[in-house]
């Protein structure tokens, strides 16, 4: 036991690094999405501005750990061992929970996760103490251990964040878009200057309130010297001269914006980058301490216990822990550097940001979420209300307003989610709401505010049209559901973990360390070692799609698909002939991965065809025909994998010896056919194409023979119903796959023979 508590302190310190990583990955969505979605600059430039914001926020952070001990539980009712178990349970639960959300690509609130982890862990330990035979306290004493008022305040804050942010984003941006329209470049000289001054003024005030103001939290007047004292006087002057300060800010930014516009620079780009910097700084200055506050609090608890002579940990009261925790500046800067490093190297950061961008993008494309009955019902209700609401307004007024919401063609480019007007609105509205909440001491979550503002502005911009509304609403509902589940899961997980530590101590510590390492290993292994994905970005950057480009690019798409299909077919034949359930399950799982990848091609089909060059309609027609043949091959793979797995998993009678022998012979012929077209796609060489294809005739002949044998077997009662339908499905789908492969070869052959750019049948790599 001598090394038990020091070991926990070391573990908590290491866990704080992991918590910084998963916390940054989750919260990066707050300050990156507006800049990335609007393509305001290169990703490198955006990351530099965000990194500078994080670094400055860490430098200005007061390091006051507000959440861990100032409202969730009262330390004076807990012993040293209780406090250590609570902190350890919170860190383990918080890391695992945030990593799960990051892997799923869903943003959640790190503050809510931390608060409810603390609540769950302290509630669990308090219940153990109250129900202990040694204490035998009445149940209402739980209110002494836990401050329930904090739970209600946080829950109310969640609701307010969602409702206020969404409605504010929708209504405010509606008027902003009405002033700018989507043809905003021509209005930058006047409307743009005024809007930029308002945006930059609000974000500057936001920086002061959330940045400089936070440096004074927890300091007494005796501790304030030099710069801190100057900042305090400046903050007091602002509070007493609020409107004068805002006027000075606005007038200053008006002048700067005029100068910027005079030199013909897009002022909105500066607004978005400045907003990215300010939100990143606010995040580091205020949320950073949530990740490292608990390890610091545990270290301070350990020092208090050691300085008291290391009495029995189970009897040492922690009343002295009720004060503030001052985090050393060096620790904050080190933490900031870890977060900056994570921001640059983590792939999951892109996964999180893609969720919000996908839900708020202005253009058409792949929908990440499926519709459900609730989202469909909500859309129908609002369509009904909207149709009746607009009847009260003159048609001329509606037509005039509608002109401002007509998109430019450039806005429909696939790699631009939304324009700079909406990006600046997202950042400005979020900054104002968070500033108001800070001054009024309201518990608004930064994640909730930024996400819901983005959803509100996308609604105003008509990004949620009738083609996408049900999917977008479904996605938003899923994210919101995840937010509420965060609190519930955090409470339960931390409660179970703290109880486990309380009763099993060292063994529980070893087990939980192993568990968290296993979870991280599995998470990153599964995330990084995915199958090769067929990207629809193959056609990005191509403005005019020619026949030559179509042939080359479709080769690149077809090659990985054929590798999937060949592997699926081989495993299915092996699994059904040898009754290997795991092999069939693997084959089915591979099919689902293939289906997921092909969905990207399916969703980009229309966009690709739109790129067809004038007078070269054959390019689009060829791509469509190849797409249809690929789809039919995949559909055949679906039937084969599903029915072979169904047969074995339900323990139906195995195939007869002759049937197995026939299928293995068919498999060899099918694989040989696969190899022919695989060689074409790999070498991009069409010299080997010969008609008629001998191997195709052999496969068709073999399938006909086996189907005849199956019919004869049925007549003589040799084969049962399940056996017959399985064999017919395999044989029919194998024939379809063969015919579709041969059709693809013919399509390439005919396309090349009509393409004047190919003087020979030899194709050069694109």
Specify the DSSP class assigned to residue 317.
B
CA angle 234, 239, 241 (to 5 degrees): 90
C-alpha separations of 599 from 103, 368, 559, 631, 733 in Å: 20, 11, 16, 10, 21
**Which DSSP state fits 654?**
P
Q: Which two tokens stand for residue 631?
A: 């789809």
All structural domains of the chain with their residue ranges: 19-356+418-528, 537-753
Measured between its terminal Cα atoms, the distance across the chain in Å is 67
**Cα–Cα distance measured from residue 449 to residue 427, given in angstroms and rounded to the nearest whole number:** 10
* CB proximity list for 627: less than 8 A, separation 6 or greater: 601, 602, 605
pLDDT, tens only, 218-274: 454 555 555 566 767 777 788 778 888 888 989 999 999 999 888 888 889 999 999
> Which parts of 61-147 fold into alpha helices (H)?
66-69, 80-104, 110-131, 142-145
Tokens of 693: 């294809």
Residue ranges of the chain with pLDDT lower than 50? 63-65, 67-68, 218, 220, 410-414, 530-537, 756-766
Instruction: Write the DSSP assignment of 472-515 as a string of letters.
Output: HHHHHHHHHHHHHHHHHHHHHHHHHHHHHHHHHHHHHHHHHHHH
CATH superfamily of 537-753: Phosphate transport system protein phou homolog 2; domain 2 (1.20.58.220)
pLDDT at 614: 63
Phi, psi of 422 (to 5 degrees): -70, -35
Tens digit of each residue's pLDDT (9 = 90 or more) over 548-594: 777 777 777 888 888 889 999 999 999 999 999 999 999 999 998 88
Token pair belonging to 524: 């990153």
pLDDT for 687 equals 59
pLDDT on residue 435: 72
Structural contact between residues 69 and 121, judged by C-beta atoms closer than 8 angstroms: no
Q: Which residues contact 131 (CB under 8 A, 6 or more apart)?
A: none
- Residue pair 295/25 in contact (Cβ under 8 Å)? The answer is no
d(CA 231, CA 213): 8
User: According to the model, what pLDDT value does residue 538 have?
Assistant: 53
pTM: 0.76
Contacts of 95 (CB under 8 A, 6+ apart): 15, 18, 19, 22, 516
Pair of tokens at residue 663: 């299928």
* Cβ-contact 121, 497 below 8 angstroms: yes
Q: Which two tokens stand for residue 699?
A: 């496969």
User: DSSP class of residue 65?
Assistant: -
Contact 743, 646 (CB under 8 A): no
């Amino acid at each position: 036991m001598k090394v038990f508590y020091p070991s926990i302190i070391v573990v908590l310190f290491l866990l704080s690094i992991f918590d910084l990583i998963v916390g940054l990955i989750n919260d990066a969505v707050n300050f990156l999405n507006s800049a990335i979605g609007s393509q305001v600059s290169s990703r490198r430039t955006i990351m530099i501005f965000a990194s500078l914001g994080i670094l400055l926020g860490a430098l200005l952070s007061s390091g006051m750990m507000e959440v861990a001990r100032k409202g969730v539980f009262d330390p004076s009712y807990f012993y040293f061992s209780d406090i250590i178990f609570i902190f350890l349970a919170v860190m383990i639960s918080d890391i695992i929970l945030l990593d799960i959300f990051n892997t799923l690509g869903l943003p959640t609130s790190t503050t809510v996760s931390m608060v409810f982890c603390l609540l769950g862990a302290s509630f669990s330990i308090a219940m153990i103490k109250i129900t202990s035979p040694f204490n035998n306290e009445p149940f209402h004493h739980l209110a002494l251990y836990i401050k329930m008022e904090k739970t209600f305040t946080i829950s109310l804050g969640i609701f307010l964040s969602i409702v206020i942010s969404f409605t504010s984003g929708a209504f405010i941006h509606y008027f902003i878009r009405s002033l700018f329209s989507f043809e905003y470049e021509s209005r930058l000289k006047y409307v743009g200057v005024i809007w930029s001054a308002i945006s930059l003024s609000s974000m500057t005030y936001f920086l002061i309130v959330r940045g400089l103001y936070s440096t004074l939290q927890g300091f007494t007047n005796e501790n304030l010297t030099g710069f801190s004292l100057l900042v305090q006087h400046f903050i007091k002057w602002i509070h007493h001269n609020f409107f004068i300060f805002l006027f000075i800010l606005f007038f200053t930014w008006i002048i700067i914006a005029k100068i910027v516009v005079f030199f013909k620079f897009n002022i909105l780009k500066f607004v978005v980058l400045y907003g990215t910097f300010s939100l990143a700084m606010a995040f580091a200055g205020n949320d950073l301490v949530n990740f490292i506050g608990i390890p610091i609090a545990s270290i301070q608890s350990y020092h208090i216990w050691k300085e008291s002579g290391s009495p029995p940990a189970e009897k040492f009261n922690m009343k002295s822990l009720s004060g503030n925790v001052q985090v050393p500046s060096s620790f904050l800067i080190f933490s900031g550097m870890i977060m900056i490093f994570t921001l640059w190297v983590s792939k999951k950061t892109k996964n999180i940001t893609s969720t919000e961008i996908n839900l708020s993008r202005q253009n058409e494309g792949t929908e990440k979420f499926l519709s459900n009955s609730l989202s469909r019902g909500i859309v129908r209700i609002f369509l009904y209300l909207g149709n009746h609401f607009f009847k009260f307004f003159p048609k001329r007024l509606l037509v005039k307003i509608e002109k401002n919401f007509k998109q430019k063609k450039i806005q429909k480019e696939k790699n631009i989610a939304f324009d700079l007007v909406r990006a600046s609105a997202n950042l400005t509205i979020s900054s104002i709401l968070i500033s108001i909440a800070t001054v009024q001491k309201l518990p608004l979550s930064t994640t909730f505010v930024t996400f819901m503002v983005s959803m509100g502005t996308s609604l105003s911009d008509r990004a949620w049209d009738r083609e996408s509304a049900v999917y977008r609403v479904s996605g938003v509902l899923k994210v919101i559901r995840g937010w509420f589940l965060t609190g519930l899961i955090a409470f339960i997980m931390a409660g179970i973990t703290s109880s486990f530590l309380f009763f099993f101590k060292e063994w529980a510590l070893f087990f939980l360390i192993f568990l968290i390492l296993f979870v991280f290993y599995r998470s990153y292994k599964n995330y990084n070692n995915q199958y090769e994905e067929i990207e629809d970005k193959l056609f990005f950057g191509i403005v005019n799609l020619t026949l030559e480009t179509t042939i080359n690019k479709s080769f690149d798409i077809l090659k990985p698909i054929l590798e999937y299909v060949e592997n699926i077919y081989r495993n299915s034949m092996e699994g059904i002939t040898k009754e290997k359930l795991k092999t069939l399950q693997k084959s089915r799982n591979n099919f689902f991965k293939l289906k997921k990848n092909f969905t990207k091609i399916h969703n980009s089909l229309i966009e690709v065809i739109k790129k067809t060059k004038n007078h070269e309609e054959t390019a689009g027609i060829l791509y469509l025909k190849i797409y249809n043949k690929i789809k039919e091959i995949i559909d055949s793979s679906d039937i084969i994998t599903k029915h072979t797995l169904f047969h074995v998993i339900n323990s139906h009678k195995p195939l007869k010896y002759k049937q197995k022998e026939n299928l293995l012979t068919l498999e060899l012929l099918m694989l040989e056919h696969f190899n022919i077209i695989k060689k074409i796609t790999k070498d991009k060489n069409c010299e080997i194409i010969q008609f008629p294809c001998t191997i195709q005739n052999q496969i068709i002949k073999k399938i006909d023979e086996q189907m005849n044998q199956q019919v004869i077997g049925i007549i003589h009662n040799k084969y049962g119903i399940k056996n017959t339908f399985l064999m017919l499905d395999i044989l029919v789908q194998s024939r379809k796959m063969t015919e579709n492969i041969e059709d693809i070869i013919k399509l390439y052959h005919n396309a090349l023979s009509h393409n004047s750019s190919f003087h020979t049948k030899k194709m050069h790599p694109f």
